[in-house]
């Protein structure tokens, strides 16, 4: 998405005059949920239950998971959903592997015969996701690959003809236009400050693995990463992945953030200047640079264990087009048991992140069951291991119950705001696909407007379960209550922004993300109603929403166009 395209989209989304007429004409009666169907009180009750201590913080592979899955299966049944898990059940086993890089892992670079240790947590924030007993890399060559972007749709290729097999790829974080000025080729080619998929560390590691690299290091810079060094370090060196048929094809032996200071020193040793390299990486003509007289080594034992976790999946089979589906979901997992916080709370129970998204999913399921059976199938999902890098949805997307080629759209709710009615709905990742205009239409029906995420450089659009579908080409949209401050009926944008910054600073992923009596979930109920209305309209139409031109995932969708008629 270009900067210009983004501005145009914003202008369209926020045009208040157009929207209402458009909605009345386009909304069939089938979309309107029975009155009070999405009930704030029920949202509150379900969230309160799931985030209570009884569920022990809902960490995958724990007793808390067992209780959570039993509760969700019961709720899916009570809502009248048909099972869509494995073997006629409501669950899909998600085999996970947990690995642990020791704090004293031996890693180093050798420059012109001189060895310099790289200390875990200080110079490196390393993870190893292949389930091997020992990570051993001896004398591997290092290659600086700039931003490591291969984007044919933007006419950009940082790799040229480099062979990365058996080598260590060194990356810059973010994408080529993050720091670009008008003089650079990259200027405006990657959404300006807004992060594209190419900006994400996950993309870079996966691309390195596809190219046969043995390891990859991403130079950590706080602004470009959108978070500090401490945040980049995984607690206890713990990594999670799904169990893969051939992990060597999809995962590196070692992946790590490299502290900027260590990177500058490493490049200097190889006779290179970090800032000059960065500058060169903003040019289309950039070519990978091999670090002369420099090698990388690692040698340490790796603890790895297997965990069987579960997605919970139900459906309402469409009466006319059962193979075509609309997906609605949220993640059930949170952070489990930990050290007590200042108030002695141990369980990090994720009430807003994302028990409330599960509550919304259940309420929407109930709304669908109250109305006539939709023409297309609607699939409801409660994902595991979102907090471990979207693994539950990733697993489902590679083992789907209905083909993704004929999955019309994925709607995800990840945090809904508890501060009452809002005059707007915040959209992260604006400018991607036609679901955004559908959202604007339905929001107008609630006398609300769409407000794009104020800080798209955080890349929030890549950090929820909808993304597991988007990257495979399924048009997707996420409602994310932390995407930005809502314009609240009580207190306006100022109160909305204050809530987001307070919650993010104090309670996000912490024990104080708890249910509260003082919540007003009328706004959250309206948000869930938007999802219901969008899903219902699509489920009773022949529409196939499209990706916008020049977006990352358009090509993936277009390649299966023949299957959608």
By CB under 5 A, name the binding residues for Zn ion.
Answer: 353-354, 414
Smallest gap, in angstroms, from Cβ of residue 330 to Zn ion? 8
Nearer to Zn ion, 241 or 414 (CB): 414
Smallest gap, in angstroms, from Cβ of residue 285 to Zn ion? 40
Smallest gap, in angstroms, from Cβ of residue 514 to Zn ion? 15
Nearer to Zn ion, 10 or 234 (CB): 234
Q: Whole-angstrom Cα distance, residue 344 to residue 339?
A: 9
Q: Whole-angstrom Cα distance, residue 425 to residue 249?
A: 40
Smallest gap, in angstroms, from Cβ of residue 80 to Zn ion? 27
Count CB neighbours of 476 within 10 A.
28
**CA distances, 87 to each of 92, 130, 194, 307, 318 (Å):** 9, 29, 43, 20, 20
Nearer to Zn ion, 151 or 242 (CB): 242
- DSSP state for residue 200 in the 8-state scheme: S
Smallest gap, in angstroms, from Cβ of residue 414 to Zn ion? 4
Smallest gap, in angstroms, from Cβ of residue 357 to Zn ion? 7
Nearer to Zn ion, 43 or 316 (CB): 43
Smallest gap, in angstroms, from Cβ of residue 429 to Zn ion? 15
Smallest gap, in angstroms, from Cβ of residue 353 to Zn ion? 4
Nearer to Zn ion, 158 or 353 (CB): 353
Nearer to Zn ion, 207 or 414 (CB): 414
Nearer to Zn ion, 101 or 427 (CB): 427
Nearer to Zn ion, 253 or 362 (CB): 362
Handedness of CA 9, 14, 15, 19 (dihedral sign): positive
Smallest gap, in angstroms, from Cβ of residue 202 to Zn ion? 16
Smallest gap, in angstroms, from Cβ of residue 360 to Zn ion? 13
Nearer to Zn ion, 214 or 460 (CB): 460
Q: Whole-angstrom Cα distance, residue 412 to residue 479?
A: 6
- Of 411, 430, 410, 418, which is closest to residue 14 (Cα–Cα)? 430
- Of 322, 355, 435, 455, which is closest to residue 75 (Cα–Cα)? 355
Nearer to Zn ion, 37 or 476 (CB): 476
Beta carbons of 312 and 381 less than 8 angstroms apart: yes
How far, in whole angstroms, is CA 93 from its chain's centroid?
21
Phi then psi for residue 372, to 5 deg, are -70, 150
How far, in whole angstroms, is CA 557 from its chain's centroid?
19
- Of 165, 252, 166, 156, which is closest to residue 201 (Cα–Cα)? 252
Sequential DSSP letters for 405-431: GGEEEEEEE-----B--BSEEEESSTT
Beta carbons of 271 and 135 less than 8 angstroms apart: no
At what angle are helices 356-370 and 522-539 packed, to 10 degrees? 50
Nearer to Zn ion, 269 or 484 (CB): 484
User: Would you state the structure tokens that stand for residue 367, as one six-digit string?
Assistant: 């709304």
Smallest gap, in angstroms, from Cβ of residue 354 to Zn ion? 4
Beta carbons of 316 and 374 less than 8 angstroms apart: yes
Q: Whole-angstrom Cα distance, residue 215 to residue 375?
A: 48
User: Would you state the structure tokens that stand for residue 533, as one six-digit string?
Assistant: 């209305």
**CA distances, 391 to each of 165, 245, 309, 310 (Å):** 27, 15, 10, 11
Nearer to Zn ion, 33 or 61 (CB): 61
User: Would you state the structure tokens that stand for residue 141, as one six-digit string?
Assistant: 């060559």
- Of 11, 40, 14, 9, which is closest to residue 448 (Cα–Cα)? 14
Smallest gap, in angstroms, from Cβ of residue 480 to Zn ion? 8
Smallest gap, in angstroms, from Cβ of residue 463 to Zn ion? 8
Smallest gap, in angstroms, from Cβ of residue 377 to Zn ion? 25
Nearer to Zn ion, 354 or 527 (CB): 354
Q: Whole-angstrom Cα distance, residue 553 to residue 402?
A: 20
**CA distances, 554 to each of 429, 462, 476, 548 (Å):** 15, 16, 12, 7
- Of 486, 465, 492, 487, which is closest to residue 476 (Cα–Cα)? 465
Beta carbons of 148 and 168 less than 8 angstroms apart: no
Q: Whole-angstrom Cα distance, residue 115 to residue 295?
A: 9
Residue with tokens 């200080």: 122
Nearer to Zn ion, 354 or 405 (CB): 354
Smallest gap, in angstroms, from Cβ of residue 168 to Zn ion? 32
Nearer to Zn ion, 381 or 406 (CB): 381
User: Would you state the structure tokens that stand for residue 312, as one six-digit string?
Assistant: 């919970």
């Amino acid at each position: 998405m270009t900067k210009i395209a983004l501005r145009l989209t914003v202008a369209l989304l926020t045009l208040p005059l157009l929207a209402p007429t458009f909605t009345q004409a386009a909304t069939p009666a089938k979309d309107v949920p029975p009155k009070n169907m999405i009930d704030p009180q029920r949202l509150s009750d379900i969230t309160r239950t799931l985030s209570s201590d009884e569920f022990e913080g809902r960490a995958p592979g724990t007793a808390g998971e067992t209780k959570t899955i039993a509760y969700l299966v019961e709720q899916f049944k009570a809502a009248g959903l048909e099972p869509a898990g494995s073997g006629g059940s409501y669950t899909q086993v998600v085999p996970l592997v947990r690995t642990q890089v020791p704090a004293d892992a031996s890693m180093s670079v050798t420059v012109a015969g001189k060895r310099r240790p790289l200390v875990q947590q200080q110079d490196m924030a390393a993870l190893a996701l292949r389930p091997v007993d020992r990570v051993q890399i001896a004398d591997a060559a290092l290659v600086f690959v700039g931003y490591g972007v291969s984007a044919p749709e933007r006419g950009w290729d940082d790799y040229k003809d480099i062979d990365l097999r058996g080598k260590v790829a060194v990356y810059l974080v973010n994408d080529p236009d993050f720091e670009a000025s008008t003089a650079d080729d990259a200027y405006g080619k990657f959404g300006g400050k807004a992060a594209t998929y190419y900006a994400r560390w996950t993309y870079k590691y996966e691309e390195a693995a596809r190219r046969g690299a043995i390891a990859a290091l991403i130079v950590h810079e706080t602004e470009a990463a959108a978070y500090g060094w401490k945040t980049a370090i995984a607690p206890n060196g713990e990594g999670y992945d799904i169990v893969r048929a051939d992990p060597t094809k999809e995962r590196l032996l070692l992946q790590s953030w490299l502290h900027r200071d260590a990177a500058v020193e490493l490049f200097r040793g190889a006779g290179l200047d970090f800032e000059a390299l960065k500058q060169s990486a903003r040019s289309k003509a950039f070519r990978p640079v091999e670090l002369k007289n420099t090698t990388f080594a690692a040698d340490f034992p790796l603890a790895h264990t297997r965990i069987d976790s579960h997605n919970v999946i139900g459906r309402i089979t469409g009466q006319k087009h059962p193979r075509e589906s609309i997906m609605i979901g949220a993640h059930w997992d949170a952070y489990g048991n930990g050290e007590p916080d200042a108030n002695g709370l141990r369980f990090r129970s994720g009430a807003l992140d994302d028990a409330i998204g599960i509550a919304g999913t259940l309420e929407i399921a109930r709304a669908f069951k109250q109305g006539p059976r939709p023409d297309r199938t609607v699939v409801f999902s409660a994902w595991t291991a979102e907090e471990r890098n979207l693994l539950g949805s990733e697993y489902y997307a590679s083992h789907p119950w209905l083909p993704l080629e004929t999955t019309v759209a994925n709607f995800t709710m990840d945090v809904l705001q508890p501060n009452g009615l809002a005059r707007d709905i915040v959209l992260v990742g604006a400018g991607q696909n036609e679901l955004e205009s559908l959202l604007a239409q339905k929001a107008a029906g609630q006398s609300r407007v769409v407000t794009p995420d104020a800080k798209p450089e955080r890349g929030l659009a890549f950090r929820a379960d909808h993304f597991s579908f988007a990257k495979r080409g399924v048009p997707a949209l996420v409602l994310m209550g932390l995407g930005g401050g809502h314009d609240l009926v009580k207190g306006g944008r100022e109160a909305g922004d204050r809530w987001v910054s307070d919650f993010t600073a104090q309670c996000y992923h912490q024990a104080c993300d708890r249910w509260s009596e003082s919540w007003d979930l009328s706004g959250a109920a309206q948000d869930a109603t938007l999802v219901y209305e969008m899903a219902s309209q699509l489920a009773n139409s022949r529409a196939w929403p499209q990706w916008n031109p020049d977006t990352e995932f358009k090509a993936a969708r277009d390649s299966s166009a023949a299957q959608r008629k």
